[in-house]
Amino acid sequence: MDLFLQQILTGLANGAIYACLALAVVMIYQAIDHFNFAQGEMAMFSTYICWAMIAGGLPYWVAFFATIIISFVGGLAIERIIFKPLHSAPVLSHVVVFIGLVAIFNSTAGAIWDHTIKTFPSPFPDGSFAGLIGLHEIGMFFVTLIMLLGIFGFFRFTRIGMAMQAAAANPDSAGLVGIRVGWMLALGWGLAAAIGAVAGMMIAPIVFLDPNMMLGILLYGFASAIVGGISSPGGAVAGGFLVGIIENLAGTYIPAIGSELKLTVALILIVTVLLFKPNGLFGKTIVTRV
Amino acid sequence: MSQILEVKGLEASYGPTKVLHGLDFSLDQGGVTTILGANGAGKTTTLRAISGMVTRSGKISLAGTELSSLSTADITRRGIAHVPEGRGTFVRMSTEDNLRLGAYSRNDKAAIAEDMERVYTYFPILKQRRGQQAGTLSGGEAQMLAVGRALMLRPRLLLLDEPSFGLAPLIVQELFAILKRINDEEGVSMLLVEQNAALALELADHAYLLETGNIVISGTSESILENETVRRSYLGY
């Protein structure tokens, strides 16, 4: 029983990270209709920036919030500089640019900070809660949860949040009510980059810091987005927790999977959901009367 | 009478295909003008060109302000509200959020609340539907929402693209009566594009006839109604 509870709790904690990446991916998907393959590498790069600041002597939380702001500005800049000129380019151009970004961030991080694996500090104390789950995992869960709630509050209750939703849903109409659609897209990129940065900084103490740290995690993020429904930010977050739990339980209780083949679970989930429920578990089918 | 909008040499194209070939027209302050024409004549494109939604060239000035180099959002902020073809409501958002977004570029909270009530007075059905997802509204309700959202801008000029499209005749009568009231009571100038020429000429005081991207006839509604070509081709008697 303890093992079961332990796996569920760990699943929830990891799930919070997947939820963040899923949300970041969904936000950009809603705006430009493509998966941002570079989301994970952007998060990895942000985490390195945080590491460098801490190594330079800044207190953890100062570096943490500074990294969020730097990532936000960086995301914004990527949209304005790279994706804005590609606005009406075909799908393939976007895909190629995403792959280019993956390579650029990965090699730049390797070039600046070299490829050796580094430890990343946790702001939370060592130790565990009742021997079930580490305190870092608990802290990570709450940090990401607070952020996710903040993001949803922002979209639901602020004028800019509403405008961002409108710009993603119907750019033509958004322009016709005076929303500057291009800037809303850029803001979406900034937010997505900031969300990814938090996920990266929170998961780094567990997976350690290296240029490839986010590869597997992004795959779980994609799986979460698809399981939850690529059209639904709330669904993507729920999908994140679900994937976290499923992955842990499958790894523990299905001997054939173990910890070696866990990542395969993510791929199986992606294929299964796309085959049987392409809108995802929570993806809304838009009701329209004519 | 003074002019709210003056258009000179307006050309517009989709990719390599030129759709408008140099239109000259003007709209009276406080008046209702209609653009008539067959499918593909360029009516919708004319509205989209004014709103900066297609590549265009030529001069468009709103009460002296040049619009031809501005973006759609900035043109809207100058006071042109465009009710697009197919209504363009935000289907996943509630009716009230749609109206609220109509006032996105304004900051006067109290006046916005007042205008919301005014829209609900024009369209009481929207008040009943205020919490409902816009995508679940009927065609007539969605069109009313689209017009209501445009009014939330407190526009100087309202562009209406086929507001009668797909609506039952009774609903069309109701909608056009309200448009007339808005024009009479608030003095909002309107540019109306319609397939239903008889209906459009009833509301409008001025009309232009568009054929393959050129204006071929223009005049007051009365004179257009008496025009032999218009009668035969667009009014059917």
Which residue ranges make up each domain of chain A?
A: 2-276
Residue B233, pLDDT score: 79
The pLDDT-based confidence of A290 (bands split at 50, 70, 90) is very low
Q: Could you say which of A165, A169, A173 has the minimum Cβ distance to residue B84?
A: A173
CATH topology (fold) of A2-276: ABC transporter involved in vitamin B12 uptake, BtuC (1.10.3470)
In this predicted model, what pLDDT tens digit does every residue of A32-90 receive, in sequence order?
888 899 999 999 999 999 999 999 999 999 999 999 999 999 999 999 999 999 888 88
Average pLDDT (A108-113) is: 96
Residue A289, pLDDT score: 52
The answer, for A2 touching chain B at a CB cutoff of 8 Å, is no
Sheet holding B17-28, edge to edge: B17-28, B3-14, B55-62, B65-66
pLDDT averaged over chain A?
91
Strands B55-62 and B65-66: antiparallel
In this predicted model, what pLDDT tens digit does every residue of A133-163 receive, in sequence order?
999 999 999 999 999 899 999 998 999 999 9
Q: How far is A167 from chain B (nearest CA, A)?
A: 10
Closest CA to B63 of B1, B9, B108: B1
Instruction: For chain B, state the CA radius of gyration.
Output: 17
Closest CA to B210 of B100, B6, B45: B45
In this predicted model, what pLDDT tens digit does every residue of A214-225 receive, in sequence order?
999 999 999 999
ipTM over 0.90: yes
Strands B157-161 and B206-211: unpaired
Most A-contacting residue of B45, B55, B72, B75 (CB-CB within 10 A), to test interface:
B72
Closest CA to A187 of A65, A47, A77: A77
Q: For the packed helices B95-102 and A159-169, what is the interaxial angle rounded to 10 degrees?
A: 100
The answer to whether the Cα torsion of B186, B190, B196, B200 is positive or negative is: positive
pLDDT at A245 over 80: yes
Strands B189-193 and B206-211: unpaired
CA B140/CA B146 separation, integer angstroms: 10
The answer to whether the Cα torsion of A56, A59, A60, A65 is positive or negative is: negative
CA B207/CA B201 separation, integer angstroms: 7
In this predicted model, what pLDDT tens digit does every residue of A197-239 receive, in sequence order?
999 999 999 999 999 999 999 999 999 999 998 888 889 999 9
Q: How far is CA B129 from the centre of its chain?
A: 23
DSSP for B65-95? EE-TTS-HHHHHHTTEEEE-TT----TTSBH
The answer, for A116 touching chain B at a CB cutoff of 8 Å, is no
The encoded tokens of residue A116 equal 């050796």
The H or E element spanning position A158 is none
Which residue ranges make up each domain of chain B?
A: 1-79+157-166+189-237
Whether A163 sits inside 8 A of B101 (CB atoms) is yes
Specify which residues B21 forms β-bridges with.
Answer: B11
Q: Could you say which of B51, B100, B136 has the minimum Cβ distance to residue A176?
A: B51
Residue A284, pLDDT score: 64
CB–CB of B134/B127 below 8 Å? no
CA B58/CA B18 separation, integer angstroms: 13
b/e burial code for range A182-198 (CB count within 10 A of at least 16 → b)? bbbbbbbbbbbbbbbbb
The answer, for A180 touching chain B at a CB cutoff of 8 Å, is yes
> Which residues of chain B have a pLDDT value below 70?
1
Closest CA to B151 of B116, B124, B181: B116
Q: Could you say which of B81, B88, B101 has the minimum Cβ distance to residue A162?
A: B101
Residues, chain B: 237
Q: Give the long-range contacts of residues B164-173, CB within 8 A, separation 24 or more.
A: B164/B194, B164/B195, B164/B196, B164/B199, B165/B85, B165/B86, B165/B195, B166/A290, B166/B139, B167/B139, B167/B140, B167/B143, B168/B140, B171/B139, B171/B140, B171/B143, B172/B196, B172/B199
DSSP state of A118: B
CATH 3.40.190.10 fits B1-79+157-166+189-237, yes or no: no
CA A192/CA A199 separation, integer angstroms: 11
CA B132/CA B142 separation, integer angstroms: 11
Residue B150, pLDDT score: 97
Chain B residues with CB under 8 Å of a chain A CB are 51, 53, 71-73, 76-77, 81-82, 84, 88-93, 97, 100-102, 104-105, 133, 135-139, 149, 153, 166
The encoded tokens of residue A164 equal 């961002």
Most B-contacting residue of A172, A177, A288 (CB-CB within 10 A), to test interface:
A177
b/e burial code for range B200-229 (CB count within 10 A of at least 16 → b)? bbebbbbbbbbbebebeebeebeebbebee
DSSP state of B136: G
CA A241/CA A238 separation, integer angstroms: 5
CB–CB of A176/A52 below 8 Å? no
Whether B153 sits inside 8 A of A177 (CB atoms) is yes
DSSP for A126-152? SSEETTTEEHHHHHHHHHHHHHHHHHH
Please list, in sequence order, all residues whose beta carbon lies within 8 angstroms of the beta carbon of residue A210, skipping any fewer than 6 positions away: A115, A116, A117, A118
Residue B232, pLDDT score: 81
In this predicted model, what pLDDT tens digit does every residue of A249-281 receive, in sequence order?
998 888 888 777 888 888 898 999 989 888 888
CA A47/CA A217 separation, integer angstroms: 14
Backbone phi and psi for residue B52, each to the nearest 5 degrees, phi listed first: 70, 30
